[in-house]
Amino acid sequence: MPRPKPASQRSPFGARILGSAQQSPRRLRVRIQVLLTLVLIGTNLLGSAVVFVVNNFAVPAEEPSPDMVLALAIAVPTYVVAAAAVGVIWGTATSLRALRWATQGQEVVPTDKQRRQALRVPLQLTLMQLTLWMAGSALFTVLSIALQPERAVSTALTVGIGALVVAGVSYLLTEFTLRPVAARALADTEVTNRVRFVGVGPRMVLFWAIGTAVPLGGLLVAAILALTDPGETSLTQMATVTIVTIGAVLVFGFILTDLNARSVVAPIMSVREALRAVEAGHLDADVVVYDGTELGALQSGFNQMVGGLREREKLRDLFGRHVGHEVAAAAVDATTGEMRLGGETCVASVLFVDLVSSTAYASDHSAAEVVGVLNRFFGVVVDEVDRRGGLVNKFIGDAVLAIFGAPVPNEDHAASALAAARAMAIRLEEEVPEIGAGIGVATGSVVAGNVGHELRYEYTVIGDAVNSASRLTDLAKDVPGGVLAMWDTVVAAAEGGGADEAIHWEKNGSALLRGRSEKTALAVPVWE
């Protein structure tokens, strides 16, 4: 059953409504245009609601005159509709023009100027919204001064509060909408701790001021107005003002705090999901960087960390391929975690295999043919050794040295080496018929470990078993089947729990191996 994708991959920008990181430029353009339009219209409607509530309930003032009511009935809907239309048309057109590079194609690489322009779009749209609302505040204040001066202060206050609420909500929603574009702008760049635009801390203080301080400031103004003219403000009016203001703080403060919290939590959640993926062994986990603040530095830092882990794992795998993963693990001291030199004496089985007349074959064939034969030859040898828990220790020209029982202990090392030799001989005859091979197997005491200098060393095996396996390989080239082993290896296999393998071997005389003073009993496979 396939493993489900992490949430960070299903929603790389923190919300499915923003689409995937691989969405087409056309889909991205349509998505941004629709979402920006909804944001601009929605924030203006929200601001209008704020103005209505504050103007009618939160600020103590005289009832509007008939002329004022008529003027507001005409001016408010006209201006709101006009401002919303201008904001939508002007805002989306300006934004899409600044983001044109991002909606042209995945392969388009933005310039530094285009990156900066794209990251400034939320701030520019917010300033545009604030400008339109401040213009409305000035218009309605002038209208109040002309028709009913005593309402001028309350009008300026209510529209100003609405403007700040609209600006705060607009900035957060616009920044949320443009995350896919911000991700493309920040791609292939290093987000440092140098904050772009408004950082997390100042942003929280700013939105606290808009969602909490401004409404409470309005309550303060209402209280001052009541104190300056106590006869015009009743206890009921002040109670109403207090209740409405507290309600505004609770509602709009919650909206701004929730949006701001989401903008902070989303990047952190993406990093957390990616950390879980890395913990599960998925080093291909990556985080889409779409924030230009300290949170973006966190996302970028995670990607750099995982990139380092991938590079480390790549080197580890490469090292393991060169010396064997078991050797790589054994080379590290379990206590200190550092590489260590030295070896240890143990009983192991050694398998040596060498091609017959490879020099003559190379002189009569092309380099490509020779390389093809060698690759097939090494493929068979490595496959059979790995299958039985051995270690291919060295490639020596057209020969291979393999070890069973070191560096990972194996009680059945003798049986494993013998089984590998028989299977190897059968496969080489079938898969590499162009050239023959001799295979020798010996068991004995060896010294296995890292030899050399701390700056350059290799894992090797030294001892009589290695020398004997090499000598047996030369003798095996003249034996039918091409396989020769020490009889002691067969005995060790039978005694070590490999009786099923030992029955496939029989004695085949003895020979005086070079470097030995006594003859060595030999064995060959029983071919069926």
Domain boundaries, the chain: 16-266, 340-525
Distance CA(399)–CA(219), nearest Å, equals 91
Instruction: Report CA-CA distances (Å) from 61 to 34, 139, 145, 220, 245.
Output: 40, 19, 14, 14, 15
Residue in the structure block whose two tokens are 């900035």: 171
| Cβ–Cβ under 8 Å, residues 222 and 60 | yes
Query: Which helix H or strand E contains 521, and what residues bound it?
Result: strand 520-525
The tokens for 222 are: 């209402």
Residue spans of alpha helices (H) in 388-463: 413-431
The tokens for 430 are: 């079938």
pLDDT for the residue 241: 64
The tokens for 454 are: 């701390």
pLDDT for the residue 504: 92
pLDDT for the residue 296: 72
The amino acid at residue 479 is V
SS (H, E, C) 369-413: HHHHHHHHHHHHHHHHHHHCCCEEEEEECCEEEEEECCCCCCCCH
pLDDT for the residue 453: 66
pLDDT for the residue 195: 44
The tokens for 469 are: 């396996």
DSSP 8-state symbol, 72 = H
- Other Cβ atoms less than 10 A from the Cβ of 112: the count is 9
| Cβ–Cβ under 8 Å, residues 287 and 270 | yes
Task: Please tell me the number of Cα atoms within 13 Å of 158 on its side-chain side.
Answer: 25
Distance CA(172)–CA(17), nearest Å, equals 16
Q: C-alpha 27: how far from its chain's center?
A: 25
Q: Which CATH architecture has domain 340-525?
A: 2-Layer Sandwich (3.30)
Task: Please tell me the number of Cα atoms within 13 Å of 289 on its side-chain side.
Answer: 22
The amino acid at residue 422 is R
| Cβ–Cβ under 8 Å, residues 119 and 189 | no
Q: Is 269 exposed, middle or buried (0-12, 13-18, 19+ CB in 10 A)?
A: middle
| Cβ–Cβ under 8 Å, residues 520 and 477 | no
Residue spans of alpha helices (H) in 19-65: 25-53
DSSP 8-state symbol, 197 = S
Per-residue tens of pLDDT for the chain, all 528 residues: 344 444 445 567 777 777 777 777 778 778 877 887 888 778 777 777 777 766 665 555 566 677 766 776 776 677 777 777 777 777 777 777 777 776 666 566 777 777 777 777 888 888 888 888 888 778 878 877 887 777 777 677 777 777 777 777 778 788 888 777 777 777 666 554 444 556 677 777 766 776 677 667 766 766 666 666 655 555 666 666 667 667 766 776 777 677 777 777 778 887 888 888 887 877 777 777 777 677 777 777 777 788 777 776 765 555 455 445 555 555 444 444 455 555 678 899 999 999 988 888 888 888 888 888 888 999 999 899 988 888 888 888 889 999 998 887 888 899 999 999 999 999 999 998 888 899 999 999 888 877 766 666 677 788 889 999 999 999 999 898 899 999 999 999 998 888 889 999 999 999 988 877 789 999 999 987
**Total length of the chain:** 528
Task: Work out whether strand 342-355 and strand 391-396 pair parallel, antiparallel, or are unpaired.
Answer: unpaired
Instruction: Report CA-CA distances (Å) from 347 to 1, 23, 403.
Output: 44, 61, 11
